[in-house]
């Protein structure tokens, strides 16, 4: 069931309580999985007159104990009231244990507060076409997925004990291209 927090319903609120939060809660928020991102050609804007002082922010309980809560910022996507998780802009890809930002210019803004401040300042953003981003693959239980390593000829590499040498598996996931922040 969804729960409305003076703006729009928040998904999964019946299992993960949602409450209002202050803008300062966005400071130094670490990267986390988010369901409130953008898709190709989405147009993210804000209600007229929105500032960092009056933006509505919701704080949703984490999916699992020990994780951080999800912070959602009220916005309009394609004209409809919804939420954006500012961590979408700071999301890191995890390809073969590398941890590079998908949107490096947005990541340079430092944290979720920097992203939201910039989005409000420039009036929003329009997403472009999807691009495929190699991300770490996971098993159904959430554990890392490993596959046999192959040589240049495509043969699986066998270790001295007869088992395969394993490497982290990756999968390509679509993310929209985004214009860089308009600084200045």
- Predicted local confidence at residue 34, as pLDDT: 47
Three-class DSSP labels, 40-85:
CCCEEECCCCCCCCCCCEEEECCCCCCCCCEEEEEEEECCEEEEEC
Q: Beta 100-101 vs 146-148: how paired, if at all?
A: unpaired
pLDDT digits (tens, 9 = 90+) for 70-83: 899 999 999 999 99
- Predicted local confidence at residue 132, as pLDDT: 92
- Predicted local confidence at residue 164, as pLDDT: 95
Q: Would you say residue 45 has pLDDT above 50?
A: yes
pTM metric for this prediction:
0.74
For the chain, give every domain's residue range. Answer: 3-130
CB neighbourhood size of 89 (10 A): 26
pLDDT digits (tens, 9 = 90+) for 13-39: 888 888 888 898 887 665 444 468 999
Q: How far apart are CA 119 and CA 55, in angstroms?
A: 12
């Amino acid at each position: 069931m969804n729960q409305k927090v003076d703006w729009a319903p928040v998904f999964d609120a019946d299992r993960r309580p949602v409450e209002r939060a202050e803008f300062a809660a966005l400071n130094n928020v670490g990267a986390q999985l988010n369901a409130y991102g953008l898709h190709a050609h989405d147009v993210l804007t804000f209600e007229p007159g929105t500032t960092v002082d009056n933006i509505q922010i919701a704080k949703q309980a984490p999916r699992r104990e020990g994780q951080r809560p999800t912070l959602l910022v009220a916005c309009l996507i394609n004209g409809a009231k919804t939420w954006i998780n500012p961590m979408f802009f700071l999301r890191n890809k995890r390809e073969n244990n590398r941890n590079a930002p998908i949107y490096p210019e947005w990541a340079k803004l430092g944290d979720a507060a920097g992203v939201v401040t910039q989005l409000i300042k420039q009036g929003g953003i329009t997403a472009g076409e999807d691009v495929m981003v190699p991300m770490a693959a996971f098993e159904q239980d959430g554990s890392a997925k490993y596959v046999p390593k192959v040589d240049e000829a495509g043969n699986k590499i066998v270790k001295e004990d007869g088992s395969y040498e394993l490497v982290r598996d990756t999968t390509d996931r679509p993310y929209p291209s985004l214009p860089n922040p308009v600084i200045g």
